[in-house]
Structure 1
Amino acid sequence: MSYSRSILITGGTAGLGYYCTLELARQFPNYQVIIVSRSSSQDAAGSINKILGQNNVNYLRLDLSDLSQIRSFVQQWETNKYPPIQYLLLNAGLQFPGPVEYTVNGYEKTFAINHIGHALLFSLLVPHLAHAARIVVTSSGTHDPAQKTGLPDAKYTSAEELAHPTKITAQNPGRQRYSTSKLANVLWVYALHRRLNESKDARLKSCTVVAFDPGLMPGTGLVREANPVVRFLWHVILPRVIPLLRVLLGTPNIKLPQVSGATLAWLASSKEALLSSGVYYEGREQIRSSEESYDVSKQNDLWDWTVRNVASTEEEVARFSLTD
């Protein structure tokens, strides 16, 4: 079958990403849907195709912590000549609650996976975005201290310090590194929105980007790096007591991944949501993100650091600069 457009979803093999993929594949049987992650032990693509009686979902392996893999992935994308990308969902995310860990490229892992890898992937795929492409970045309410989520407050000093913690900041809790990486997601969305809006390229100017908080979703793969007790509570106990959690934590923003997955699909593709860009959503409601996320100097620090340190050739610099 010949497909007219592509949909690319990182972290699409489980939890939020899986249910989002299921909904988008159902809505767009004429689109090629590509889900990527480090592994797909449950054959997510095959499962979705079987449920829908279709064959438009495919899995490709990608480890966002390894920049060489991202570059190879984009080369593979170009070799396979997939159709233009209509919906790009930068959804994958991890937290490492223990001592600081580093990637093969020498970056702190949380920041590397949740920001750097996605920024490189997006930039290298810029030439393959369709007209009016939609980009959705999965962030989290944990980025905003005012939401009192229970995680340590996000602490953005500079992108350099997040990528290469000092001896002092390397002692920060792993959960704080996570909340700060989610702040970086929002900062990057706002920086990207401005650059798309200012682009002289009509195709890029037509693209939109938003940040998304799916809510707390017990049962997802977010805590796969946690200890066995935490993983048991997260996967087995908490999904069964969501109404109680809402009462105890004083927020309705605790949801099953099936619900948030459908919301993510709506945010990516619905006519109503597509009118928005450069904004932050909690579920289907557009709200203000943290006060810090509107700091243009921090948005620019993150953007400029990423270009300087991640783009490795003149061609990559051009793609980061949205001129290719």
Structure 2
Amino acid sequence: MSACILVTGGTAGLGYHCAIALARQYPNHRITIASRSDTQDAAGSINRLLGQTNVQYMRLDLSSLSQTRLFVKKWVENNNLPITHLLFNAGLQFPHGVSYTEDGYEKTFAINHLGHALLFSLLTPHLAQTARIVVTASGTHDPAQKTGMPDAKYTTAEELAHPSGQALHNPGRQRYTTSKLTNVLWAYALERRLADLRSDPNQGRNWTVAAFDPGLVPGTGLARDAGAVMRFAWTRVLPKVLPVLRALVSPNIHSAEESGRSLAWLAGDGKVIGSSGLYYEGRKDIKSSEESYERAKQEDLWEWTVRNVAEGPEEIALFSLKTLV
């Protein structure tokens, strides 16, 4: 093996199909698919499908900061290869009342943003000199797209992490769309810092980042915490009527395989991996929401995240990308 690729949420849905495409494209890379469980032996099924042995599973619980740190500890112990691709694809929504992680953070924000941000920060010393980071966001973050989901509403990172007052009554689907907005805000804040690294000849690092909207992808595990009727429609009915949905609702509706291949394309196609700081709807770069370009919100999210996940001054400096070891 020559290098490593990490795909969170890679055991099912579009992440699984993305892992297949990347394993086929990079047979000499170790492809790690990470999620809370792999009950269907996704890694084994990909290896059997391709007649390869380069896909492995590692358990990752993004809702827990300590478990995320443990994942990286095991990663470093078991992998001595540089990481060329980081795909932050895992995500959940909790449609009912506010739920909290063991660390005391609202779960949607913690899993969809905070865990991934910590994972990136801990893995930066292990990235290859040229590396690609792709963050799976969602078109639902943009009110102009009129997706039918509640409009995203970013106040402060602290308010998203520890809702209070009226925010405690925000619908779970709005917490989801706002978490997808944080994905885009974080990607843009990261790009400014990566641009500084790329311009520094002493660093020698060519790291790029992109945000990705997979479209509406029925059949994925996103609705696992929804009611029984919604879960049945999402997993059993809607995947069978995609052409009708595209005609009546939106052309940005895809199967998990279609969106997975697009995610792999954005991560590994030579025509786009040199671009950075862009937002893609499938394979087309488009403008994200107006709010996502507000630098004050990008920086509020970035700085709050570093302060709350870093342990001590050395990690603060590393996580801020001011020092790299």
CA distance in 2, matches of 1:115, 1:198: 23
Structure 2 stretches of 5 or more lacking a match?
none
* Pairing of 1:10-49 with structure 2 (within 5 A): 10-49=8-47
1: CA distance, partners of 2:276 / 2:30: 24
Aligned 8 A contact 1:196 1:204 in 2: no
The aligned residue for residue 283 of structure 2 is 284
Give the distance between the partners of 2:159 and 2:171, measured in 1 at CA. Answer: 15
Aligned to 1:104: 102
Number of residue pairs the alignment of both structures matches:
321
Once the two structures are TM-superposed, the CA of residue 245 in structure 1 deviates from its matched residue by 1.2
1:196 corresponds to which letter in structure 2? L
Root-mean-square deviation over aligned CA pairs: 1.1
Report 1:162-241 matches (<5 A): 162-199=160-197, 200=200, 205-241=205-241
**Corresponding residue number in structure 2 for 1:133:** 131
- Name the aligned partner's letter for residue 159 of structure 2: E
Misfit runs of 4+, over 4 Å: 201-205
Identity of aligned residues (%): 65
- Please report how far the alpha carbon of residue 91 of structure 1 lies from its aligned counterpart in structure 2 after TM superposition: 0.4
Structure 1's 43 and 281: CA in aligned 2 closer, same or farther, altered over 3 A?
same
- Secondary structure (helix, strand or coil) at the match of 2:273 reads helix
Alpha-carbon separation, structure 1, partners of 2:131 and 2:210: 12
- Is the partner of 1:280 in helix, strand or coil? strand
- Counterpart of 2:285, as a letter, is Q
User: Once the 2 structures are TM-superposed, how far is the Cα of residue 202 of structure 1 from its aligned partner?
Assistant: 5.3
Say which SS state the counterpart of residue 121 (structure 1) adopts. Answer: helix
Name which of structure 1's ranges 105-114 and 199-208 shifts more when overlaid on structure 2: 199-208
Residue of structure 2 in register with 1:294 after alignment: 293
- Alignment match, 1:159: 157
Kept in 2: contact 1:49–1:56 (CA 8 A): yes
What are the superposed Cα offsets for residues 150-173 of structure 1, whole Å, 9 maximum, x if unpaired? 000000000000000003101000
Is residue 2:266 matched to residue 1:267?
A: yes
1:205 to partner: Cα distance: 4.2
The 8 Å contact of residues 130 and 203 in structure 1, kept in 2 or not, is answered as no
The 2-side partners of 1:267 and 1:116 are apart by 23
Residues of 2 paired with 1:201 and 1:162: CA distance?
38
* Aligned AA (1:39): S
In the TM superposition, what is the alpha-carbon distance from 1:319 to its structure 2 partner?
A: 2.3
| Equivalent pair of 1:49/1:55 in contact (CA under 8 Å) | yes
The aligned counterpart of 1:115 is 113
Contact kept in structure 2, 1:9 and 1:17, CA below 8 Å: yes
For residues 86-143 of structure 1, give each alpha carbon's deviation from its aligned partner in whole angstroms, at most 9, with x where no partner exists: 0100000000000010000000000000000000000000001111100000000000
TM (norm. structure 1) is 0.97
Kept in 2, the 8 Å contact 1:6–1:82? The answer is no
Task: Find the aligned partners of 1:299 and 1:202 in 2 and give their Cα distance.
Answer: 27
Q: TM-score, normalised by structure 2?
A: 0.97
Flag structure 1 segments of 5+ consecutive residues without an equivalent: none
Letter in 2 for 1:144: D
Secondary structure at 2:285 match in 1: strand
174-183 or 200-209, larger mean C-alpha shift: 200-209
Contact 1:138 1:212 in 2 (8 A): yes
1:252 equivalent in structure 2: 251
Shift in Å at residue 81 of structure 1?
A: 3.0
Q: Which residue does 1:315 correspond to in 2? A: 314
Tell whether the 8 Å contact from 1:95 to 1:175 is kept in structure 2 after alignment: yes
SS at match of 1:273: coil
